[in-house]
């Protein structure tokens, strides 16, 4: 049994409009063309679908039963069409994001929530993992894009650098909390909370403070933990501003630090895997979000 989509369209049009004439007008074809399609459908199915009564056609019980099944198929097609339209409008689909913990636990997740509110039918997964695993996830296609510590260099990846100035964090009652900004000499002899051993960020800090004697009595790989240690009196630390912002209501202050120490990150996309328009929009809007926070001094 071979049934064509044109036969089904003609049958449905006749059933819904009630006549060959109206069906032909709805389909923008001639009446004889609709009649031929109906006859060929009856031959293909072996069913009598309409009784001819003069210039009128009356659907049979079989036609009514068949229409129910046809309508279910058309509903499915309508859903497919609606989903395709939603994809074009970027209000449907999915995003898989891999990010270094400092971002996954702060402004990235905040932005994801805002992005999701505007697109409630988009499914978003955020994974907070070390930078080398972010790179692997993006390169293998397990993540649509990612955010990692810099610098990174790997063939097949499109990399955008997003520099962000590190800040000095300390308790509100610390003597240095009255300073407008902090310089390396200000940290001489201070208890210092070391962050991210073995990371690019840590190496930048150590190079900048190489000639400054300080006591590193506490150390942690995560900026969030460093901020908590500072809040509990563990010392002073240099961290990324987006992590510091999460603790400003917990007894610490963040001060600009000079010279510039980059605590930023890189945006990663694979050249080997297709990137959806939705993913491109997310990456662009998140970068704009970060830039706005800097412009408003929220992260400074």
Q: Per-residue pLDDT tens for 181-231? A: 999 999 999 999 999 787 888 899 999 999 999 889 899 988 999 999 999
List, in sequence order, every residue forming a beta bridge with 123; answer none if it has no partner.
Answer: 94
Give pairs for 204-209: CB < 8 Å, separation 24+.
204/166, 204/261, 204/262, 205/166, 205/238, 205/261, 208/184, 208/259, 208/261, 209/184
User: Please, what is the Cα angle at 162 between 246 and 203, to 5 degrees?
Assistant: 80
Evaluate the CA torsion angle 10, 12, 13, 15 in order and state its sign: positive
Neighbour count for residue 257 (Cβ, 10 Å): 24
Q: Compute the C-alpha angle 235/250/173, nearest 5°.
A: 50
Distance of CA 61 to the CA centre of its chain: 51
- Set out the domains of the chain in order of their start, with CATH numbers: 5-89 (1.10.10.10), 93-163+265-295 (3.40.190.10), 167-256 (3.40.190.10)
Q: Are 134 and 98 in contact (CB under 8 A)?
A: yes
At residue 113, the pLDDT reads 95
**Within its chain, how far is the Cα of 268 from the centroid?**
13
pLDDT of residue 54 exceeding 80, the answer is no
**Are the C-beta atoms of 226 and 237 separated by less than 8 Å?**
yes
Specify which residues 30 forms β-bridges with: none
Q: Say if residue 78's pLDDT is above 90.
A: no
At residue 75, φ and ψ (nearest 5 deg) are -60, -40
**What's residue 82's pLDDT?**
72
In which band, very low, low, confident or very high, does the pLDDT at 300 lie, cut at 50, 70 and 90?
A: very low
- Would you say residue 299 has pLDDT above 50? no
Average pLDDT score, the chain: 88
- The DSSP element (H or E) to which 252 belongs, if any, is strand 252-256
Reading the block at residue 283, the tokens are 């990456």
Count of other CB atoms within 10 angstroms of residue 272: 12
């Amino acid at each position: 049994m071979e049934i064509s989509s044109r036969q089904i369209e003609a049958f449905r049009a006749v059933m819904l409009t009630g006549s060959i004439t109206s069906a032909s007008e709805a389909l923008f074809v001639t009446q004889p063309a609709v009649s031929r399609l109906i006859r060929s459908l009856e031959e293909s199915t072996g069913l009598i679908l309409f009784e001819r009564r003069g210039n009128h056609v009356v659907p049979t019980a079989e036609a009514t039963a068949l229409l129910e099944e046809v309508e279910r198929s058309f509903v499915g097609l309508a859903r497919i069409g609606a989903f395709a339209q939603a994809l074009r409008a970027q209000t449907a689909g999915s995003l898989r994001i891999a990010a270094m913990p400092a971002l996954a636990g702060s402004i990235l997740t905040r932005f994801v929530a805002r992005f999701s509110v505007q697109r409630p039918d988009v499914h978003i997964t955020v994974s907070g993992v070390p930078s080398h695993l972010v790179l692997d996830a993006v390169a293998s296609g397990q993540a649509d894009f990612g955010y990692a510590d810099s610098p990174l260099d790997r063939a097949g990846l499109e990399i955008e650098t997003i520099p962000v100035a590190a800040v000095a964090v300390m308790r509100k009652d610390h003597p240095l909390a009255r300073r407008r900004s902090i310089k390396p000499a200000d940290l001489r002899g201070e208890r210092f909370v070391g962050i991210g051993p073995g990371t690019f960020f840590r190496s930048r800090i150590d190079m900048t403070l190489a000639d400054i004697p300080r006591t590193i009595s506490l150390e942690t790989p995560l900026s969030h933990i460093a901020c908590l240690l500072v809040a509990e009196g563990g010392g002073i630390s240099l961290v990324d501003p987006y992590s510091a912002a999460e603790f400003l209501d917990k007894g610490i202050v963040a001060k600009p630090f000079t010279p510039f120490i980059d605590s930023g990150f890189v945006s990663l996309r694979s050249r080997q895997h297709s990137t959806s328009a939705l993913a491109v929009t997310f990456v662009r809007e998140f970068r704009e979000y970060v830039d706005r926070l800097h412009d408003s001094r929220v992260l400074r």
